[in-house]
Amino acid sequence: MAIIKCPECGKDVSDKAPFCPHCGVKIAGELPVPVPQPNPKKASHGHKTLLVSFIVAVIVCGMGVLVYQVKMGKKENEAYAMASSSKDTLIMQSYLERYPHANETHRQEVMDLLEKARKMEKDWNNAKASNSLSEIKDFLSTYPNSSHRQAAEERIDSLSWAMAKNKNTPESYNQYIGEFPEGAYIDQAQDALRKRLGQQVQPEEREMVRALFRKFFQSVNSRNEDAMLSTCEDILTNFLGKPTATKSDVASFMQKIYKPEITNMNWYLDNDYAIKKREVGDLEYEYQVTFSAKLEQEYSEKPKEESRFRVTATVSPDGKISSLNLTKILQPE
């Protein structure tokens, strides 16, 4: 037996009672089978669990999105850094295509750099096609940090060497050597310069030869033996017909020509120098020299005499006389 609630009046009554003693409603055999009711506390607990699970899922998803965005932002920053520092147009173009929604400032900067890089490529192709030394120099001046810098410098070197060869003068080779001491053609330039110098007597060399013989004969005129000997090598291959002559032989020459009856003597050198040079060492040259000279001798007992000579001499690489011979030129009666 169990105590239940009367369905009519709600008061306690035995489930075995035929009628409710309070209101008279039939009880036994008439009551519906009780249906279990959900526990409100349990239902509330289930709702809370579901809500917590939903919130956790939202947080996890949010964190996932955040992590993804951070990673994507990091990748974009890295790609931007590479594109903005690169000189390669392909890298810049790749950044713009991969990150169409990137930071607008980043995209604008890369687009500006890409435009400048494309203009530089166009200018380089034009300068290269022109094969003009001035245009390639202008390109290098406008784009000093270009990726084509080395190629431009090599082209300038090559064109400068071609110009030097075309002129084929000591000045042009010296200019190339001075401007490109580490140039690709430095060895060729030095060889070419050596050959040209070996073929051509330079103005300063001509003046050196003239000054040397002027000093020699002026020293003879003034009977200044020391000054005369300072113009000669210690050993001369030939002096007035004597092979392997010494400075003593040169001093004897002065003593012999100043005879007692001579009161004065003057040598006058004509400016008809013929000079040939030949290389005798690394950029060292020997000079074969011929010129005319007049000798005036005054005597105490007879009239002044004039004689003409052909001077044939050699000047050493040290700038001193290494051989000297005089050939008297016969004057017509």
Nearest-angstrom CA–CA distance, 242 and 240: 6
Q: Give me the domain span that covers residue 184.
A: 140-199
Q: Are residue 154 and residue 241 in the same domain, yes or no? A: no
pTM over 0.75: no
Cα–Cα distance list, 269 to 110, 116, 227, 310 (Å): 79, 71, 18, 10
Average pLDDT value for residue range 54-58: 73
pLDDT band at 54 (very low <50, low <70, confident <90, very high): confident
User: Which pairing describes strands 242-246 and 3-5: parallel, antiparallel, or unpaired?
Assistant: unpaired
Q: Are residue 153 and residue 247 in the same domain, yes or no? A: no
Helix %, strand %, coil % for the chain, to 5? 50, 20, 25
pLDDT band at 117 (very low <50, low <70, confident <90, very high): confident
User: What's the CA angle centered on 134, arms 130 and 136, to 5 degrees?
Assistant: 60
Average pLDDT value for residue range 285-314: 94
Q: Is residue 298 part of a domain?
A: yes
Q: Is residue 94 part of a domain?
A: no
Given a contact cutoff of 8 angstroms between Cβ atoms, the answer to whether 27 and 19 are in contact is yes
Q: Is residue 58 part of a domain?
A: no
User: Which token pair is 308?
Assistant: 């003409």
**Residue 30 scores a pLDDT above 60:** no
Predicted pLDDT at 147: 85
E-state strands within the chain: 3-5, 12-14, 235-239, 242-246, 262-269, 274-281, 284-299, 305-315, 321-329
205-226 tens-digit pLDDT: 999 999 999 999 999 999 999 9
Predicted pLDDT at 271: 93
How many domains in the chain? 2
**Last residue of a domain, which of 199, 214, 244?**
199
Q: Are residue 214 and residue 318 in the same domain, yes or no? A: yes
